[in-house]
Amino acid sequence: MKIVRTAAELRTEGSTGLVPTMGGFHEGHLSLFRSARAENRTVVASLFVNPAQFAPGEDLDRYPRDEKRDATLAEEAGVDVLFAPAAEEIYPDGFQTWVDVEEVGSILEGEYRPGHFRGVATVCLKLFNLVRPARAYFGQKDAQQVAVIKRMVRDLAVPVEIRVCPTIRDEDGLALSSRNAYLSPEERERALALPRALAARDPGALDGLAVDYFEEADFEPRVLAAAVRVGSTRLIDNVVLEGDTE
Ligand code: AMP
């Protein structure tokens, strides 16, 4: 596996699958790498903790960063190129062009994290333009992110196919997330109320957690999505409702 830091080194051959990430790899990321591996000649994973999608006071500074560990895991999962740019490579001096997916980006997460999806959409479009993938891979765990990216791709006719992979969970039901590393054992136990409440479609099961939202969202597929705060850690999760017989 090659590690590259500049756009100039990115030339790849054949159909390319891109997996955009912020690192702190777990089975959720690895499942995206494996899907990309199965469907493309070349697999590029980007590793970039995107400052533009963090608001002041969020966890940008403490976000887990361990490039060596991530590089080993990515290589084992079949990634050919790990694109780990410096911030200036993505946001050159004078940068002032943003993608704002107005409606889908302003509800739910967008309401609690203003500017978040503007940062996400902009960095994804930039990565698509740098890597020029035939396909890009995202996790259903971040259902609204998928909805935002799909809307952007449709609206701006971006020539990439968006592939969505299922949410990977720990045995106890907690969706894997780089942010789970912030949880103390006691907080992790309390966090289990989130997948349980979603599975039961019952916000009452979140008793004792600080709930930002617990709402159905008209994405494709339709989901029940929730965000909670456990101590200083904010967690999001969702379950797919389509085909729900209730
Ligand atoms: P992140 O590094 O957290 O920005 O995530 C990179 C990609 O991995 C995004 O498309 C996420 O939706 C996806 N992802 C994160 N956690 C999971 C999970 N538990 N299951 C499946 N995909 C995930």
| Ranges in the chain annotated CATH 3.40.50.620 | 2-165
Look at ligand 1, atom 13, and give the residue with the nearest C-alpha.
Answer: 139
Structure tokens at 229: 């705060």
Q: How many CB atoms lie within 10 A of CB 51?
A: 13
The mean predicted confidence, pLDDT, of the chain is 97
Q: Answer whether residue 245 shows pLDDT above 80.
A: no
Which contacts (CB < 8 Å, 24+ apart) does range 237-246 have? 237/141, 237/167, 237/175, 237/194, 237/195, 237/198, 238/140, 238/141, 238/143, 238/167, 238/198, 239/198, 239/199, 240/140, 241/216, 246/201
Q: Whose CA is nearest to atom 17 of ligand 1?
A: 28
Please report the pLDDT score of residue 208 as a whole number: 86
Gap between the Cα atoms of 217 and 145, Å rounded: 12
- If you measure from the C-alpha of residue 57 to the centroid of ligand 1, how many angstroms do you get, rounded to a whole number? 22
Please list the residue range(s) of the chain that carry CATH number 3.30.1300.10: 178-238
Tell the burial category of 21 from Cβ atoms under 10 Å away from its Cβ (0-12, 13-18, 19+).
Answer: buried
pLDDT at 77 over 60: yes
Question: Which residues have CB under 6 Å of ligand 1?
Answer: 21-22, 28-29, 31-32, 138-139, 141-142, 165, 167-168, 175-178
CA distance 135 to 73: 21
29 has catalytic annotation = yes
Closest approach atom of ligand 1 to CA 138: 10
Taking the model in full, what pTM does it have?
A: 0.97
Q: Which of 10, 25, 29, 108 is catalytic?
A: 29
Place of tokens 């939202």: 213
Residue 190 clears pLDDT 90, i.e. is over it = yes
Q: Which ligand 1 atom is the nearest neighbour of the CA of 137?
A: 10
CATH classification code of 178-238: 3.30.1300.10
Report residue 246's pLDDT band, with 50, 70 and 90 as the boundaries.
very low
88-101: average pLDDT: 98
* Residue 243 predicted with pLDDT over 80: no
Share of the chain above pLDDT 70, in %: 99
Residues in the chain, total = 246
80-96 average pLDDT score: 98
Residue 8's pLDDT band (cuts 50, 70, 90): very high
CA of 148 to the centre of ligand 1 (A): 15
What's the CATH code, domain 2-165? 3.40.50.620
Q: Quick one: 3 exposed, middle or buried, by C-beta within 10 A (0-12, 13-18, 19+)? A: middle
**Amino acid letter at 141?**
K
**Mutate which of 142, 194, 237 for ligand 1 pocket (most atoms within 8 A of beta carbon):** 142
136-140, 216-220, 233-237, 241-245: segment of lowest average pLDDT: 241-245
